[in-house]
Amino acid sequence: MKVQGTAVDKNLTKKANGFSKFLKSLKTQKQLWLLSIPIIIWVVIFAYYPMYGILMAFVDYIPGKEIFQCDFVGLKYFKQFITNPSIWTLLRNTFAMSGLSLTFGFFTPIIFALMLNEIGRAKARKFIQTVSYLPHFISWIVAGSMVYLMLSSDGILNNLLISFGVSDTSVPFLTKGEYYWTIYTIVNIWKSMGWSSIIYLSAMSGVDEELYQAGAIDGLGRLGMVRHITLPSIAPTIVLLWILGIGNILSAGFDYHLIIGNDATRPYWDVIDTYSYRYGVQQGFYSMGTAVSLMKSVIGFLFVCITNYISKKLTDTSIF
Amino acid sequence: MRRVSYIKRTTSGTVFDIFNVAFMIVLTVTMIYPFINIFAISLNEGTDAVRGGIYLWPRKFTLSNYEYVFSNSSLLRGAMVSVLRVVVGIATGVLGNALLGYIVSCRTFYGRKFMRVLFLITMYFSGGLIPTYLLMVRLGFMNTFQVYWIPSIFSAFYMLLTSSYIQNLPESLFEAARIDGCSELKILFKIVLPLCIPMLACIAVYIGVDQWNSWFDVSLYSKDGKWDNLQIILYRLLNQATALQKMMEKQRAAAAMKTLQPLTVRAATTIVVTLPIIFIYPFFQKYFVSGITIGSVKG
């Protein structure tokens, strides 16, 4: 009893101390607090108020009304989305395209980094690296414009195909859905490969040179060095990025589909994000759209937790 | 070569080297070729370019596509909006994040931790597209310019960059200034900002590229087209062939513009949109990389 009492007392005085310190700081650090106030107001309006807005997924939201004034409908919109027949197309497209990015899109930067690391001249390495992440900095619109230019019916690729006799007529790359996933994956790799490889290259440059010397003495060839020294040293980075990548498994691109996708290819590009945008923003079903994107983030988070757990058990690497 | 002194030269190694170099050359060409091709087309005469077959250089050289782009009033206005976005975005973003970084790294400040956590939470949770969109509608930000910069003044990610940099400055600098009766804002402007120029340049480049490249928020918030930027105009040129035809009909009447074609105008606009990025690229690429490495260290 007595011990408990003192503990409570201590807590109380601590709290009181903290509070009085806070009050005192209002006076002595008036300027810093004054500078903080507009920032706090900004973050509440532009970051926390939209979080509160997520609650509209659970009500029949009518624009102009407060969320708590609207009728509470519980999980109605979630059910509506799950039982919607078009969900299968959405899921198929989402998983197909994010699956392609998580495999091809994920491993090409690693292979590129490993190969670039084997280039002898430092200047050449630097140059290739610099060029490789140029596409990262151009907008999706410009990238889309290039795709149009290259792949349209009178574009370069078709020109080449016809003049080399591979095909007699021009191939409708942009209007035939079957090609959509492949083109999306290639453009995605083109745009992001160099940039994603930076993190691996910086991990590789941190490897102790003595390890390679020791490896050479022990008779490792170049391939052996890559396998036994370089790869293990970037393995934790690979696992971490993989876990983070899993969190995006339900995000299979957005800008690209709005730019390159058209009505003819929609059965192949309509993903959860574009669906939520189309219904939520363009057609004004705000509650529905919010419910869809909320569900998406929750599931993405669960995916991260599961992968994280598995990787913790198997490889001892985890993000939390 | 890095490990040349102790690696044995083998035939398979040499074969690999040759293959590797060839692969890297092909890769570099793939990265650059679309830019070259689009540039060649933009310098070609429209009616001739439609026939195809332009790969590396223009067949019938002309500048009329660029003349058209620079004489078109809506494209010019779009360029102005784009530049304004970049300038205002960089000015407010750099100042805002420097201030925020200073506040959360000021060791004696009582509210330091509170502010830091307040922003860190926003890194992991966000309202998402629709609540943000409705907020902008509600604030009356539709069809205004401020929707481009006010919602992006502060950012948790840039706060981490600035605060980790400011924390490495000696605290005694600030203390001495405070003892001398310097106000906090003056410390920010006279001490923090000048000392942080390399890091602020990095943030400025990031913000600038972001602002220049963004198009989705324009398509959401610029409904009446008054604040359309270059990107969104290019988007319309791509997706709505009729928009381009309509835009070009007027100028086409003029004799010099008779050969204009959507294809070449599109290419010229694309080059105009890309050129600023390519120009700043060699100068700022070290900042791009330093940004991503600081970010990855901070997690």
Which candidate from B13, B133, B220 shows the least CB-CB separation from A222? Answer: B13
Lowest mean pLDDT among A226-235, B130-139, B220-229, B286-295: B286-295
Which candidate from A119, A213, A259 shows the least CB-CB separation from B24? Answer: A119
Please report the ipTM that was assigned to this predicted complex: 0.86
Calpha distance A145→A162 (Å, rounded):
22
Residues of chain B neighbouring A40 (CB-CB closer than 8 A)? 115, 118
Alpha helices in chain B (DSSP H): 11-42, 46-49, 64-71, 73-105, 112-124, 129-138, 156-167, 171-179, 184-187, 193-195, 197-213, 216-221, 230-239, 241-252, 262-298
CA distances from A287 to A89, A283, A302, B249 (A): 21, 11, 22, 43
Sign of CA dihedral A210, A215, A217, A218: positive
> Chain centroid to CA A196: how far?
12
Q: How many CA atoms lie within 13 A of A108 on its CB side?
A: 19
Cβ <8 Å between A137 and B281: yes
Residue B299 pLDDT more than 90? no
Write down the pLDDT at residue B247.
62
Calpha distance B251→B295 (Å, rounded):
49
Write down the pLDDT at residue B290.
65
Cβ <8 Å between B6 and A213: yes
Write down the pLDDT at residue B237.
83
Cβ <8 Å between B17 and A120: yes
Q: Per-residue b/e over B81-107, b at no fewer than 16 CB within 10 Å? A: bbebbbebbbebbbebbbbbbbbbbbe
DSSP B55: -
* Right CATH for B72-299 from 1.10.3720.10, 2.30.40.10, 3.30.360.10, 3.20.20.70: 1.10.3720.10
Which candidate from B100, B131, B282 shows the least CB-CB separation from A54? Answer: B131
Both structure tokens of B151 = 């919602």
Question: What is the rounded average pLDDT for all residues in chain B?
Answer: 85
Write down the pLDDT at residue B261.
78
Q: Per-residue b/e over A120-130, b at no fewer than 16 CB within 10 Å? A: eeeeebeebbb
Calpha distance A292→A276 (Å, rounded):
6
pLDDT tens-digit map of B5-57:
566 678 888 888 899 999 999 999 999 999 999 999 999 887 787 777 788 88
**Which B residues 259-288 touch A at CB under 8 Å?**
263, 266-267, 270, 273-274, 277-278, 281-282, 285, 288
Write down the pLDDT at residue A231.
92
Check residues B295 and A180 and name the one with the higher pLDDT. A180
Cβ <8 Å between B154 and A43: yes
Calpha distance A129→A190 (Å, rounded):
13
pLDDT tens-digit map of B213-251:
999 999 999 988 889 999 998 888 887 665 666 666 655
CA distances from A156 to A185, A186, A204 (A): 19, 16, 38
The residue-averaged pLDDT of B261-284 equals 85
Both structure tokens of B106 = 């000021």
Calpha distance B252→B71 (Å, rounded):
12
CA distances from A101 to A260, A262, A269, B136 (A): 17, 21, 14, 33
Write down the pLDDT at residue B88.
96
**Which B residues 61-90 touch A at CB under 8 Å?**
none
Going by CATH, does the domain composed of A84-315 fall within 3.40.50.300?
no
Residue B118 pLDDT more than 90? yes
Cβ <8 Å between A131 and B32: yes
Q: Is B44 helix (H, G, I), strand (E, B) or coil?
A: strand
Q: Is A59 helix (H, G, I), strand (E, B) or coil?
A: strand
Write down the pLDDT at residue B249.
61
Residue B169 pLDDT more than 50? yes
Write down the pLDDT at residue B6.
64
Calpha distance A287→B191 (Å, rounded):
49
For CATH 1.10.3720.10, the residue range(s) in chain A are 84-315
Cβ <8 Å between B111 and A56: no
Cβ–Cβ contact B181 with A under 8 A: no
Calpha distance A186→B6 (Å, rounded):
38
- Its pTM stands at 0.86
Alpha helices in A29-66 (DSSP H): 30-43, 49-53
Cβ-contact A42, B156 below 8 angstroms = no
Cβ <8 Å between B27 and A112: yes
Cβ-Cβ contacts under 8 Å between A and B: the total is 231
Percent of chain B residues topping a pLDDT of 70: 87
Confidence of residue B296 (pLDDT cuts 50, 70, 90): very low
- Splitting chain A (320 residues) into consecutive groups of 10 residues, what average pLDDT does each group show? 50 67 82 93 95 92 85 90 90 93 93 90 87 90 90 82 83 87 94 90 86 86 87 89 85 90 88 91 91 91 87 79
Residue B127 pLDDT more than 90? no
Which candidate from A32, A134, A254 shows the least CB-CB separation from B109? Answer: A32
Cβ-contact A158, A171 below 8 angstroms = yes
Write down the pLDDT at residue B5.
57
Write down the pLDDT at residue B298.
41
Cβ <8 Å between B119 and A43: yes
**Which B residues 203-222 touch A at CB under 8 Å?**
209, 212-216, 220
Both structure tokens of A113 = 């980094």
